[in-house]
Chain A
């Protein structure tokens, strides 16, 4: 297609957008609402996947030590853990050090648990040679004397997945519903454009315009609607995520994990939202063209 032709299609599609006024705005708003939800949903899913993967690759097993264990017993336990085939290292962290971590990430309100009221256990942080070995080591550790509990990352990952599972399903279902509404609204504005331009379409055919030439302005009108609808969601998701990331970084860092950084997530997300917008616009336009643009 020639540049001059494309320019004409663009002008044409903007004229239609303007002429459809309120209808266009309604369609754009619908895309905006939809993509806002889709954006939040995607940011969540991407992070859940990311953190889950991090957790799954985690080689640490937290072995909690019974509160009344003596120092000697503790050292014996350390030796037993160290002796396991899959274990590469064992580090001790006292209940006070554990509390300091909690205070560091959740704030000084937890300081009141200091001293004797500290509900936490002393722990051994056991590192295994492979992430796959964590489950085995945790099970074996649990059977040892003076061990109250042994947790490993894989279990956390499974819990995280389970906790967000229904959220994901509902989010997906709701997003699809909203996407359909947006497609419907866009197809409606394009339908109105097609019907109001019957004379012109007739003349185009008469003077030998190809079908694709005739279709372009309608396709563009739909695509713009989708793209314009993506602008506000992109801005809100970008700013919102950056703020959230800054606020939560400490919490996650203390647990040894990190959310996706805004830099690594947002560029792809922005692009994805824009593409989804354009695609639902184009699909909406295509539906109306199929039904009302008899060629």
Chain B
């Protein structure tokens, strides 16, 4: 359960990226966040995993009050949230399996458990057999699967994706979309910022449209025409 009440974000340079945003997202929802470039989509996403602090307003995620959350408590919020990006953010010196294990190692999961879980997650994202490859030996779509595997390996309640298909061709984007839907079907909330109106219109879900820092549209099954 995610709740934003009157949330505003003003950057240090006085740019108001979000203004009085009110939104509620139930556990298990699939939500697109759309809008033109510079609308405030990434800002919205970053507020959710406390990369940014809201300038004003209230943000609740599960039991976490993000406006009260101390810096040293942020790691424990992050463990409930998986995040993927357009540029994958994999570690090139680590293999696929090691990249996924990494997310469990840093929260001190038992090594035995890590091994089992890596195999399981690799199967889930369809990369069985690629465990020993390095990121630069994979296609973009495969790299994004690794990133998604890493994001879900700690069983987060929420998966956040900022333009996950931004660097991918339409076919690969479809595959990634199918993977995200599969994860969502297991009960994980998925929030996805995207420019890809083709996907939005072919895989219809709840749609939040942001423009100029405002939520201008919130539809249960929205479609979208991307003007740029």
Contact = CB atoms under 8 A, between A and B. Distances in A.
Interface of A: 1-2, 4-5, 8, 199-200, 202-211, 213, 295
A2 B103 contact: no
A199 B91 contact: yes
29 contacts: A4-B108, A4-B111, A5-B105, A203-B89, A203-B91, A204-B106, A205-B74, A205-B78, A206-B49, A206-B78, A206-B83, A206-B89, A207-B78, A207-B79, A207-B102, A207-B103, A207-B107, A207-B154, A208-B78, A208-B79, A208-B103, A208-B106, A208-B107, A208-B154, A209-B107, A210-B72, A210-B75, A211-B71, A211-B75
- Interface SS majority for chain B: helix
B13 to A, nearest CB: 18
- Residue among B49, B71, B75, B103 having the largest count of chain A Cβ atoms under 10 Å: B75
Interface string B38-79: 000000000001000000000000000000000110111111
B145 interface: no
Nearest to A4: B111
Contacts of B74: 205
Given A5-B105, A208-B154, A295-B71, A199 B79 contact: no
Nearest to A200: B91
Given A203-B102, A207-B78, A208-B75, A5 B91 contact: no
Contacts of A206: 49, 78, 83, 89
Contacts of A5: 105, 108
A287 B72 CA distance: 20
A236 B115 CA distance: 47
Contacts of B89: 199, 202-203, 206
A40 to B, nearest CB: 43
Majority secondary structure of chain A interface residues (helix, strand, loop or mixed) = helix
Nearest to B99: A203
Nearest to B72: A211
Interface of B: 49, 71-72, 74-79, 83, 89, 91, 102-103, 105-108, 111, 150, 154
Contacts of A209: 75, 106-107
8 interchain residue pairs of minimum CB distance:
A208-B78, A209-B106, A208-B79, A207-B103, A208-B75, A210-B75, A4-B111, A5-B108
B68 to A, nearest CB: 18
A203 B105 CA distance: 12
A8 to B, nearest CB: 6
Nearest to A213: B106
A289 B105 CA distance: 22
A3 to B, nearest CB: 10
B105 A8 contact: yes
A295 B111 CA distance: 27
Nearest to B150: A207
A5 B76 CA distance: 18
Contacts of B77: 208
A204 to B, nearest CB: 5
A39 B150 CA distance: 50
Nearest to A15: B93
A207 B100 CA distance: 10
Contacts of B76: 208
A204 B105 CA distance: 10
B142 to A, nearest CB: 18
A206 B79 CA distance: 8
Contacts of A205: 74-75, 78
Contacts of A295: 71
A295 B76 CA distance: 14
Nearest to B78: A208
Contacts of A211: 71-72, 75
Nearest to A207: B103
A213 B75 CA distance: 11
Given A207-B102, A211-B72, 20 more contacts: A1-B108, A5-B105, A202-B89, A203-B102, A204-B106, A205-B74, A206-B78, A207-B106, A207-B107, A207-B150, A207-B154, A208-B77, A209-B75, A209-B106, A209-B107, A210-B72, A210-B75, A211-B71, A211-B75, A295-B71
Contacts of A200: 91
